[in-house]
């Protein structure tokens, strides 16, 4: 054990927790993990399953409470209000200060609000923190009808949650399709249809105008951009998230939308770093966005920074992009780059869709070389390892199709559609 | 159909189910010989009740995972309903094992009451009046069938689950229930155990017992077939199948205990404890069971071989020497072949078990006592029969479904699971592959693993799951919302690798400046 000032990590989400665990594997330095939300790391992505009764909140915690003690990682449930980079101290809400050796911001995101009239009313919320979930649970008996605003991943999760508990859900999406900013037309259409099939009142091309309240300040309904009034007892605001850094705006930390970091996840201040949702890359990795608010990148930043803080300075270098989600009953996985509106001279796309089932496979490849660029898969599980290798090794789409069974990850006995898919591809591209 | 009419239709089927149960219990009050129609009506309403309920529960919903409310429902989350069902089931098992006369069983003369209710069916199948075990076997099989249908509806989107459930229903109905009964009908004079050829040591721990071996030896060609089949199962077929497919080929595709757990127990799978401390307990228990069953069997064989009527011509000495050589070779092979894949405590267990078994055999050989360890094999067997056979597999194993989950017996007490699991851990192509870096640590897999395996703890590190207790039910893979888990058979090498990080991070490929 050594007595040097600790590594202080603010935020015990996937980014902060991964860093703490990996740093502990490599070093004996004191580690302090601070979070205001909950004393223990839990999976934010699983909050929906708690509301739906698939899990209890305890299930969302990957480590039993003795884990932290055993690994000598000190936990503290407190809000951090700021820091002094000269004295190397952080300030706690209770007024205490703590000295740090290295300081890492892993403070995550916050739901967006766009100044809608009525957005501060009771029974209006975004879904991000555990406290939001507790709030929703408390309001639940009052909710018969709900309106959800914003057609992204958290929006559809919230729709599924409320629907599972028998609430009538109206889902407002500004674009002409669900998750239009990410998904090409047919992919999004498949989901639109599935959402409707589940009995969700999906309203496309519709924006929120204002939220109406009763005399006690409870949400009573919304008015849409089309002038319709929809009665509801709950409004879920799920139009994206932004880095949770308002409390750092007055510090000397360089921030844009997020905390600006270089490829080593260093901020402009010595011994101060940022990882996860709240970090913004000054020079994004080629082909990637500067802020990637997903689970996996948070984890990888944690892994990378642990290297830098404990043995070797290491640059953040994520491999080919991957992500996954589940939309009611449809599983979705994506690897590499598949644009929602590809530029014809840069990216060619081709998709195959099952005539009845919710299965769709979209391949993105270079128009000239046919080098595989990415894949969207709905209803077929894809083997990460194989896709990862293909994307790193200039595989052509033809080779990929030829070897497609090796790249699937569905349970045994699941039907294999490769012959149909390959035949359809050849039919279209063989001349 | 909307939510509310479906609710009232479901209540209707619940009522039907209750009527079936009441009809079944009716003969208890009136102990004279009951009428056939009551049996028929009871079994029919019970089945229609369960299947109809399931059908209307799931028919309005699109195919997919159906776990809404599992942890808020009183039955599946240890609420009042859960406890009530637990108490009822336990009471039933205690009655069955220790007070069968309450069910109407008479050791002399014709049975009455509930047992007699099953006479017509028993006559039909095997030409003899029902015993309490026939009653139990019938209800057991019926439960697997009707809850099997429920499971099939619930998992209608998954071919693995459909085929697997079809398999357990088939083996229970055909091999475990009908076949021995029909053989009794055809060969009324051969002893029962000469034709029970789903029989396999050590699940049927009495396989090598004196009476059982004699039963088979005296059972003519059928008996010899059963004996041969049993030996082939233990020493040839089972190791090969377990090598190729993991222990799932038995535990969640064939076994009757597994069949009940997978069907009737499905609503309770999430109640198994995932705590590390419980895993520790599991390892202790299962190893103790393993040693105990091996010793019991050795003791039985020892006294069998010593008896003047020993028909095999193998002497005790030859037997002991070969057993010592066998266990030593086995131990050495595992130690030198697989040591590096095992954790410290697994090595400890391995050597411990080996030393105990070989040690006792040696002591035995040199002391030449009539009984192994000086305890009569009869006493050992009696204890085993009570402790493991009855109290554990029935009362705790099934009675406590709604409290401790559906696989308590399989996890802590089953000697068969212990042996197959040992092989699965050491030498099998089976593993659950983790899909690179896709895990979001949500915890669904761990929560729904009936064997209490903390699947997530492997998946989130990008490690495959190779655990001796995994019965390969495939539910973790079903409930995973990110498609992270796949049960598969592949090369033995590298299946237990532990990557430093889950796939996706290339940092190692960069030259750090
Ligand atoms: C409902 C939902 C579903 C999601 N599903 C997916 C998914 O399926 N796949 C996916 O890839 N991503 C998903 N995400 C996004 C993913 O959860 C985030 O990208 C990830 O959790 C971010 O991790 P993080 O460690 O950067 O921050 P966070 O998990 O946000 O952790 C930050 C922690 O810091 C605490 N904190 C903040 N400020 C302070 C302060 N001043 N003092 C003390 N503590 C502070 C916060 O309370 C929080 O506990 C989902 C997000 C939500 C909300
Ligand atoms: S690990 Fe998965 S397949 Fe194995 S027993 Fe548990 S849930 Fe079933
Ligand atoms: S269910 Fe899937 S995503 Fe969730 S913890 Fe298990 S493996 Fe990971």
pLDDT tens string, chain B, 513 residues long: the values are 455 566 788 899 999 999 999 999 888 876 566 788 899 999 999 999 999 999 999 988 999 999 999 999 999 999 999 999 999 999 999 899 889 999 989 888 888 889 999 999 999 998 889 999 899 999 999 999 999 999 999 999 999 999 999 999 999 999 889 988 888 888 777 776 666 656 677 777 677 777 777 777 777 777 778 778 877 888 889 999 999 999 999 999 999 999 999 999 999 999 999 999 999 999 999 888 888 878 877 877 777 777 777 767 788 888 888 888 888 898 898 888 888 777 777 788 888 888 888 888 887 777 766 666 656 666 666 666 666 666 667 777 888 899 999 999 999 988 888 889 989 998 999 999 999 999 999 999 999 999 999 999 999 999 999 999 999 999 999 999 999 999 999 999 889 889 999 999 998 544 444
Distance CA A381, CA B486 (A): 10
* CA distance linking residue A229 with residue A145, whole number of Å: 13
Integer Cα distance of A9 and A103 in angstroms: 6
**What's the confidence (pLDDT) of residue A235?**
98
Average pLDDT on A17-38 reads 97
Q: Tokens 């999406």 sit at which residue?
A: A173
The residues, any chain, with a CB within 8 Å of residue A215's CB and separated by 6 or more, are none
Distance CA A422, CA A394 (A): 19
The predicted pLDDT at position A63 comes to: 97
Question: How does strand A7-10 pair with strand A31-34?
Answer: parallel
CB-based contact A319 B506, cutoff 8 Å: yes
The answer to whether the Cβ–Cβ distance between A59 and B446 falls below 8 Å is yes
The reply to whether A322-429 shares the fold of A124-239 is: no
Chain B from 151 to 170: CB within 8 A of any A CB: 157-160, 163
The answer to whether the Cβ–Cβ distance between A411 and B478 falls below 8 Å is yes
| Residue from B425, B463, B464, B465 to probe ligand 2 pocket by mutation (most atoms less than 8 Å from CB) | B465
How far is it, in rounded angstroms, from Cα A296 to Cα A302?
A: 10
Q: What is the pTM of this model?
A: 0.94
Closest CA to ligand 3's atom 3 = B439
Mean pLDDT over each residue of chain A, to the nearest integer? 96
Residue A55 has its nearest CB partner, among B440, B447, B503, at B447
DSSP string, A97-127: EEE-SEEEE---EEE-----TTTTSBTEE--
Indicate the domain borders of chain B.
276-416
Buried b (16+ CB within 10 A) or exposed e, B477-512: bbbbbbbbbbbbbeebeebbeeeebbbbbbbeeeee
If you measure CA to CA, which chain A residue comes closest to B69? A53
With the most atoms of ligand 1 within 8 angstroms of its CB, the residue from A38, A44, A132, A160 to mutate is: A44
Residue A61, chain B, CB below 8 Å: the answer is: yes
N-term to C-term CA, chain A:
69
CB proximity list for B98: less than 8 A, separation 6 or greater: none
Ligand nearest to the CA of A412: 2
Give me ligand 3 centre to Cα B138, in Å.
Answer: 38
Residue A47, ligand 1, Cβ within 6 A: yes
* Alpha-carbon separation of residue B499 from A19, A296, A389, B377, B494 (angstroms): 17, 16, 16, 49, 11
Instruction: Give the H or E element holding residue A349.
Output: strand A348-353
Nearest CA residue ID for atom 6, ligand 3: B445
- The DSSP-derived string for B136-166 is HHHHHHHHHHHHHHHHHHHTTT-HHHHHHHH
pLDDT of residue B290: 83
Tell me the ipTM for this assembly: 0.97
Query: Domain coordinates of chain A in residue numbers?
Result: 7-110+242-310, 124-239, 322-429
Helix (H) and strand (E) counts in chain B: 23, 2
CB B103 within 8 A of CB B135: yes
A62–chain B Cβ distance below 8 A for any pair: yes
Q: Which residues contact A174 (CB under 8 A, 6 or more apart)?
A: A150, A151, A205, A206, A207, A239
Give which of A12, A50, A55 to mutate to test B binding, by max B Cβ within 10 Å. A55
Note whether B457 contacts A415, CB cutoff 8 Å: no
- A281 and A290 in contact (C-beta within 8 Å)? yes
- Between CA A200 and CA A209 the distance in angstroms is 20
* Measured distance CA(B196)–CA(B203) in Å, rounded: 13
Q: How close B462 comes to chain A (CA, Å)?
A: 11
CA of B438 to the centre of ligand 3 (A): 8
* Ligand 2, atom nearest to B471 Cα: 5
Q: Is A244 in the pocket of ligand 1 (CB under 6 A)?
A: yes
Which of A54, A198, A313 is facing B62, going by the closest CB pair? Answer: A198
Q: Are B353 and B419 in contact (CB under 8 A)?
A: no
Q: Is A141 on the interface with B (CB under 8 A)?
A: no
- For Cα atoms B108, B110, B113, give the angle at the middle one, nearest 5 degrees: 115
Q: Is the peptide bond preceding residue A64 cis, with omega within 30 degrees of 0?
A: no
Does ligand 1 have an atom closer than 6 angstroms to the CB of A136?
no
- Nearest residue of chain B to residue A197 (CA atoms): B62
Closest CA to A418 of A337, A342, A361: A361
Q: What is the DSSP string of A164-205?
A: HTT-EEEEE-SSSSTTTTTS-HHHHHHHHHHHHHTT-EEETT
CATH topology of domain A7-110+242-310: FAD/NAD(P)-binding domain (3.50.50)
Residue to probe by mutation, ligand 3, list B432, B459, B464, most atoms within 8 Å of CB: B459
pLDDT, position B396:
76
| A319–B488 CB contact, under 8 Å | no
Confidence at residue A108, expressed as pLDDT on a 0 to 100 scale: 98
B86 vs B92: CA distance, rounded Å: 10
Could you confirm whether domain A322-429 is CATH 3.30.390.30?
Answer: yes
Domain at A124-239, CATH homologous superfamily: FAD/NAD(P)-binding domain (3.50.50.60)
Asked if A53 and B70 come within 8 Å (Cβ–Cβ), the reply is yes
Q: In Å, how far are B127, B157, B199, B221 from B226, measured between CA atoms?
A: 22, 39, 8, 9
Q: Does A134 touch chain B (CB under 8 A)?
A: no
Residue recorded with tokens 């996890």: B411
Residue A308: exposed, middle, or buried by beta-carbon count in 10 A (0-12, 13-18, 19+)?
buried
- Residue A148 pairs in a beta bridge with A171, A236
Q: Yes or no: say if B76 and B270 are a contact pair by the CB < 8 Å rule.
A: yes
Straight-line distance from the first to the last Cα atom of chain B, in angstroms, rounded to the nearest whole number: 66
Give the residue whose CA is nearest to atom 1 of ligand 3: B480
CA B261/CA B263 separation, integer angstroms: 6
- The pLDDT assigned to B512 comes to 42
- Strands, sheet with A97-99, edge to edge from the N-terminal-most edge strand: A80-84, A89-92, A97-99
Cα angle B38, B43, B47; round to 5: 145
Q: Is the minimum distance from the CB of A79 to ligand 1 under 6 angstroms? A: yes
Token pair 């049927």 is found at B204
How far out from the chain centre does Cα B57 lie?
28
Cross-chain Cβ contact A384/B64 below 8 Å: no
Packing angle, helices B344-367 and B316-338, rounded to 10: 160
Give the Cα separation of B140 and B92 in Å (integer). 12
Average pLDDT of span A20-49? 97
Task: Look at residue B371 in the predicted model and tell me its pLDDT.
Answer: 63
């Amino acid at each position: 054990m050594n007595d040097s000032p600790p590594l202080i990590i603010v935020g015990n989400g996937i980014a902060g927790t991964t860093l703490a665990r990996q740093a502990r594997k490599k070093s004996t330095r004191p580690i302090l993990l601070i979070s205001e939300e909950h004393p223990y790391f839990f999976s934010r992505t699983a909050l929906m399953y708690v509301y739906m009764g698939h899990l209890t909140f305890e299930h969302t915690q990957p480590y039993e409470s003795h884990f932290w003690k055993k690994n000598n990682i000190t936990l503290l449930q407190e809000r951090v209000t700021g820091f002094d980079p000269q004295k190397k101290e952080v300030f706690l809400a209770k007024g205490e200060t703590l000295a740090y050796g290295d300081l890492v911001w892993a403070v995550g995101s916050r739901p967006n609000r766009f100044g809608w009239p009525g957005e501060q009313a009771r029974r209006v919320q975004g879904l991000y923190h555990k406290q939001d979930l507790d709030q929703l649970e408390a309001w639940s008996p009052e909710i018969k009808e709900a309106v959800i605003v914003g057609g992204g991943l958290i929006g559809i999760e919230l729709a599924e949650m409320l629907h599972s508990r028998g609430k009538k859900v109206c889902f407002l999406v500004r674009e002409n399709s669900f998750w239009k900013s990410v998904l090409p037309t047919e992919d999004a259409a498949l989901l639109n249809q599935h959402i409707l099939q589940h009995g969700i009142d999906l309203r496309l091309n519709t924006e929120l105008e204002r939220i109406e309240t009763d005399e006690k300040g409870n949400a009573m309904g919304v008015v849409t951009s089309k002038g319709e009034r929809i009665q509801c007892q709950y409004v879920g605001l799920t139009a994206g998230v932004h880095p949770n850094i308002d409390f750092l705006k007055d510090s000397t930390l360089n921030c844009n939308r997020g905390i600006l970091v270089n490829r080593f996840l260093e901020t402009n201040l010595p011994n101060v770093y940022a990882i996860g949702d709240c970090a913004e890359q000054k020079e994004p990795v080629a082909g990637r966005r500067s802020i990637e608010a997903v689970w996996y990148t948070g984890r990888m930043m944690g892994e990378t920074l642990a290297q830098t803080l404990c043995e070797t300075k290491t640059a953040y270098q994520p491999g080919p992009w991957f992500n996954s989600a589940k939309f009611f009953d449809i599983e979705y996985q994506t690897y590499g780059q598949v644009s929602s509106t590809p530029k014809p001279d840069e990216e060619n796309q081709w998709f195959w869709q099952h005539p009845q089932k919710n299965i769709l496979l979209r391949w993105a490849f270079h128009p000239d070389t046919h080098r595989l660029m990415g894949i969207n898969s709905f209803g077929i599980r894809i083997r990460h390892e194989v896709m990862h290798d293909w994307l790193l090794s200039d595989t052509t789409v033809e080779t990929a199709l030829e070897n497609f069974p090796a790249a699937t990850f569905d349970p045994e006995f699941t039907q294999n559609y490769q012959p149909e898919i390959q035949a359809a591809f050849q039919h279209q591209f063989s001349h | 159909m909307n939510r509310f009419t479906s609710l009232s239709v479901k209540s209707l089927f619940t009522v039907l189910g209750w009527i079936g149960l009441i009809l079944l219990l009716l003969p208890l009050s009136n102990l004279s010989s009951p009428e056939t129609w009551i049996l028929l009506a009871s079994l029919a309403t019970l089945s229609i009740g369960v299947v109809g309920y399931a059908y209307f529960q799931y028919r309005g919903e699109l195919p997919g995972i159906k776990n809404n409310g599992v942890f808020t429902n009183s039955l599946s989350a240890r609420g009042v309903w859960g406890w009530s069902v637990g108490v009822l089931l336990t009471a039933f098992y205690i009655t069955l094992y220790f007070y069968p006369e309450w069910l109407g069983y008479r050791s002399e003369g014709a049975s009455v009451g509930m047992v007699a209710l099953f006479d017509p069916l028993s006559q039909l199948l095997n030409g003899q009046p029902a015993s309490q075990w026939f009653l139990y076997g019938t209800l057991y099989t019926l439960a697997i069938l009707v809850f099997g249908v429920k499971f099939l509806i619930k998992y209608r989107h998954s071919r693995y689950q459909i085929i697997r459930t079809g398999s357990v229903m088939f083996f229970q109905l055909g091999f475990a229930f009908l076949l021995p009964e029909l053989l009794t009908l055809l060969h009324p004079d051969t002893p029962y155990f000469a034709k029970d050829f789903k029989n396999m040591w050590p699940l049927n721990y009495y396989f090598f017992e004196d009476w059982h071996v004699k039963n088979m030896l005296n059972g003519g060609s059928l008996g010899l077939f059963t004996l041969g089949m049993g030996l082939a199962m233990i020493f040839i077929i089972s190791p090969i199948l377990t090598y190729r497919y993991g222990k799932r080929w038995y535990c969640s595709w064939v076994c009757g205990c597994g069949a009940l757990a997978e069907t009737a127990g499905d609503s309770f799978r999430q109640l198994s404890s995932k705590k590390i401390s419980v895993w520790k307990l599991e390892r202790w228990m299962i190893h103790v069971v393993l040693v105990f069953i091996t010793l019991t069997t050795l003791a039985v064989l020892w006294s069998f071989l010593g008896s003047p009527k020993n028909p095999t011509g193998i002497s005790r000495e030859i037997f002991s020497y070969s057993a010592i050589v066998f266990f030593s070779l086995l131990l050495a092979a595992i130690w030198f072949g697989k040591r590096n894949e095992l954790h410290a405590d697994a090595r400890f267990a391995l050597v411990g078990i080996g030393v105990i078994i070989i040690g006792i055999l040696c002591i035995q050989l040199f002391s030449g006592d009539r009984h192994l360890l000086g305890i009569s094999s009869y006493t050992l067997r009696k204890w085993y029969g009570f402790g493991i056979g009855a109290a554990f597999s029935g009362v705790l194993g099934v009675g406590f479904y709604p409290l401790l989950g559906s696989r308590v017996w399989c996890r802590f007490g089953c000697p068969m699971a212990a042996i197959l699991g040992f092989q699965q851990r050491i030498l099998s192509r089976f593993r659950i592959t983790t899909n690179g870096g896709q895990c979001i640590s949500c915890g669904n897999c761990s929560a729904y693993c009936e064997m209490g395996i903390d699947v997530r703890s492997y998946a989130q590190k990008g490690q495959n799951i190779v655990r001796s207790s995994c019965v390969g039910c495939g539910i973790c893979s079903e409930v995973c919302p990110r498609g992270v888990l796949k049960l598969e058979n592949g090369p033995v090498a590298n299946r237990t690798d532990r990557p430093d990080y889950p796939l996706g991070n290339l940092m190692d490929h960069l030259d750090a400046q």
